[in-house]
A and B are shown apart, each in its own frame.
Chain A
Amino acid sequence: MFVPERYPLPRVLPLVCALAISIPSALARAQQPAAAQFQFTKIDLAVLDDAMDSDYEQKGVVFHDPGVQSYIDAVGKRVIGDRPTPEHVTWRFMVLNDPATNAFAEPNGSVYVTMGLIALLKNQAQLAAVLGHETAHVYERHTYLENRSARKKAVLGEILQAAGAVAPGGAALAVAGASIAGQLILVESVYGYSREMEQQADSDGIVAMAAAGYDPRAMTATFELLDGDSTLEYEPRPTFYHDHPRLKEREAAASAWVDAHQPVSGERGLEHDYLTTFAPVVAFDVLIDIQDRRPRTAVARARRLVDAFPDEAGYKMLLGQAYRELGAKTAEPTADELTDEGADRQRKQVLKLTEEQEQQKLASTPEGRATLAQNQAAAEKLFLSVIHDQPDYALAYRELGFLYEDQSRFADAVTNYQRFLQLVDNTSLDRLRIQRRLAECQTRQSEGGKPQ
């Protein structure tokens, strides 16, 4: 588990004080955005294009759901309020199919919130805090300013890919550059601007959300959530929204703003309403987390869905799958993992071992075996509960089959795979795989159930 260096308090305090002082001027800026005076140069216009938006659409990584879209559009518009739209900006708010907790804005006004972040937030006001921050980057023209004043830094970002392309051992970086996450590496806005610009976006953002009638304390709560989430898994590509010291600073600054503007009030929105809208996003995020070696995140997100909608079989299935994926790993970081040394060991483990090797290593200890048994029992209970409520729920039999196969209970696996195949029609994409697994389990069963 990666825990970055913690900033000592004396280093944070001046920042908090500076921010508290600067907020009134931020309020003025939010009402009369700097964008109005922005003079475009040829260099700025070169940065401005819609290519990234088209690319995301073409690659099918934008989450399309009418309910989700109208909700995020409504929150985005409310945060913008009646401020004039800056030149060369068309506001668009979108959810990106990316499990990382992140959000970013293109200078053309396209604001992306990843499904990982959507799945973490608890209410509308917290989403407003994120959108307030990101729209502030657009109002303040941060991409252009950063591009102008620190072009060498921008070049540095591109060198990453060049390094990956030609430097020995750097191929992973170049290939990452080809994937969605990798493309994001190339966009500075995605990984965070300078500290000053981020502070400005936070202060402008909190003003904008408060002006829109949202409870500004939601911004502090958002940073707390992000900070707690940042310890859950080792993140090989941490973003600005996953940076512990910065999150602590941001949390302190937002609290300072709230303290300076007491009494504060405003709408937060109910968590249940938020989850009702975003449940499809959270559910897909759980599936992707499972693929992306983030089983703890998958468990945490699926648990939220089950708690909010206890009768929904699909969410129990997701939680069961997440527990199975967790294997010999604990659902929460251990005390050791939260120490710097433990975090370093965790980091090395993720970087050096495959998921299967990591599981084998964990399961080689008594604690690991006990955790594995607990997680498997939790998964089994969930699958059986779904079958109890809906005896024809095919996926529950498939997942039970997987679980029993993991446990070398081949006879039970056979029974459940057979039931799955009886229940699904011929168009099921999973038919062939389960037929193969069934045949394999039958062979093992006939051999006396010995594990391979």
Chain B
Amino acid sequence: MNVARRILMASTLAIIVTAPTVAAHASSVYVQRKVESQQFPVRSACFMPPAAGLTKLGMKSAERMVKESNDWADALQALVENHLKSDGISVDVATNPLTSGASDNEIQQVIEQIEQKYDSVFPLMDKKPGEIAKSAYTLGDQVAMLPCAANSDVLVFVRAGGTVTTEGRETFSVLVGGPISGAVFIVTFADAKTGEILGLIRLRRTGNFLESAEKSFGPDLDNNLSNMNIGSARKNAKAGGH
């Protein structure tokens, strides 16, 4: 049997068994001590191109939501950008050539290599996120080839996947069991100079997560950024009871 299909079946079983019991909101955060302790303060961030995948799931069919996926990816990146900006962190995007004099094509090639490295590291990082604290994962110092890396403390990767169920499927799933609307949203921070993975936030939602990125993920994103101590003003404000 094909391994991909094996994973497919295992995952299907997992969701049938677990979906009804999954909390509507769940989040986890993993961070290196040097970020938490402000030994590595984050004052500037460079965003890699976001990526998100949405699927519409009916009783008998499923369809890809390509345009909606891209819009959602942009919305999630804007959400993270806004939260960082609101705390005084300057933001930029990886595609910006700045004053490097490099062509778009050269930058695109570097971005593809870094993304490939991230995709290669991600499965293990997702499986053992606790190892982030032990500096186990790195994208290599090739990240410093991005023009924005020169002026940034961290690179930010925004990734998300979600399923939107039709009303019929939702009702069926609630009664009998099965997939319900839900999403996972992952933000990863990497050192813009060394490529070392510094932290990861993972947020899960069930229900209508597409209506508003801020409403669905904003409060938990804010909390987790505070827990990572990214944006110290936020943490100070919290500590002061604001």
Q: A residues within 8 Å of B by Cβ? A: 2, 4-5, 43, 46-47, 51-52, 54-55, 58-60, 97, 99, 147, 151-152, 154-179, 181-183, 185-187, 191-192, 235-239, 243, 284, 287-288, 291-293, 351-357, 426-427, 429-430, 432-433, 436-437
| Chain A CB within 8 A of B138 CB | yes
| Chain A CB within 8 A of B87 CB | no
**CA A311 to CA B57, docked complex, whole Å:** 55
Task: Verify A171–B124 contact, CB threshold 8 A.
Answer: no
Nearest Cβ in chain A — how far from B20, in angstroms? 10
| Chain A CB within 8 A of B174 CB | no
Task: Verify A165–B184 contact, CB threshold 8 A.
Answer: yes
Please give me the residue from chain B that is nearest to A151 by CB atom: B60
Task: Verify B67–A164 contact, CB threshold 8 A.
Answer: no
Residue numbers in A under 8 Å from B137 (CB-CB): 354
Binary CB contact string for chain B from 1 to 24 against chain A (1 if under 8 A, 0 otherwise)? 111110111011011001100100
Task: Verify B51–A178 contact, CB threshold 8 A.
Answer: yes
Task: Verify A165–B183 contact, CB threshold 8 A.
Answer: yes
Nearest Cβ in chain B — how far from A426, in angstroms? 7
Residue numbers in A under 8 Å from B146 (CB-CB): 429
Partner of B62, one of A157, A166, A357: A157
Nearest Cβ in chain B — how far from A7, in angstroms? 12
Task: Verify A429–B123 contact, CB threshold 8 A.
Answer: no
Task: Verify B62–A171 contact, CB threshold 8 A.
Answer: no
Partner of A436, one of B49, B55, B193: B193
Beyond known contacts A176-B119, A354-B137: 18 more, CB 8 A cutoff: A4-B2, A158-B163, A159-B179, A163-B12, A164-B11, A166-B18, A166-B183, A166-B184, A167-B11, A167-B18, A170-B14, A175-B126, A178-B53, A185-B4, A236-B123, A291-B117, A427-B100, A429-B145
Listed residue (A152, A158, A169) with the most chain B CB atoms within 10 angstroms of its CB: A158
Task: Verify B182–A162 contact, CB threshold 8 A.
Answer: yes
On whether A166 and B19 interact (CB within 8 A), knowing A155-B57, A160-B11, A160-B12, the answer reads: yes
Partner of A186, one of B60, B64, B109: B64
Task: Verify A156–B12 contact, CB threshold 8 A.
Answer: yes
12 contacts between A and B (CB under 8 A): A151-B61, A157-B62, A159-B15, A160-B7, A165-B204, A166-B19, A166-B163, A170-B11, A177-B53, A243-B2, A351-B123, A429-B107
Task: Verify B70–A432 contact, CB threshold 8 A.
Answer: no
Task: Verify B113–A288 contact, CB threshold 8 A.
Answer: yes
Residue numbers in A under 8 Å from B107 (CB-CB): 429
Task: Verify A54–B160 contact, CB threshold 8 A.
Answer: no
Nearest Cβ in chain A — how far from B167, in angstroms? 16
**CA A8 to CA B116, docked complex, whole Å:** 37
On whether A46 and B18 interact (CB within 8 A), knowing A164-B11, A166-B180, A429-B106, the answer reads: no
**CA A55 to CA B14, docked complex, whole Å:** 30
Residue numbers in A under 8 Å from B221 (CB-CB): none
Task: Verify B64–A174 contact, CB threshold 8 A.
Answer: no
